[in-house]
Amino acid sequence: MSPAYKILGMSVKPHILAIGTLAATGAGVYFGLGSNGQQEKGPVASDSVRDGEEINVEEVLKEFLGKDSNVEEK
C-alpha cells in the first residue's frame, strides 16, 4: 500500500492529488482570463509615438538624466 494524505477525513493518493491540482489550476486560468471582448480599451496617451515617428533615444536619455542632479552632462 502506498502512502496517502488525509484530506477531509479521506485518504488521497499523491498522484490523484497532483492531477487534481493541475486540473484546478488549468480551470482557474481558463475561466479567469475571460473574453477579451469584454475589456474596454484605455485612452491612448497624447505623447505616445504615432505611426511613422521614431523615438530619439539620445534626447529621451538626456532629458531623463537631466532631471537627476547627481549626473553631469559631458
Instruction: Please check whether residue 40 lies inside any domain of the structure.
Output: no
The Cα 63–Cα 60 span in angstroms is 5
pLDDT of residue 15 exceeding 80: yes
Instruction: Please check whether residue 48 lies inside any domain of the structure.
Output: no
- pLDDT band, residue 53 (cuts 50/70/90): confident
Instruction: Please check whether residue 39 lies inside any domain of the structure.
Output: no
Instruction: Please check whether residue 59 lies inside any domain of the structure.
Output: no
The Cα 42–Cα 49 span in angstroms is 16
- pLDDT band, residue 17 (cuts 50/70/90): very high
Give the pLDDT score at 18.
94
Task: Provide long-range contacts, Cβ within 8 A and 24+ apart, for 37-44.
Answer: none
pTM over 0.75, yes/no: no
The DSSP symbol for 24 reads H
Q: What is residue 22's three-state secondary structure?
A: helix
Q: Domain tally for the chain? A: 1
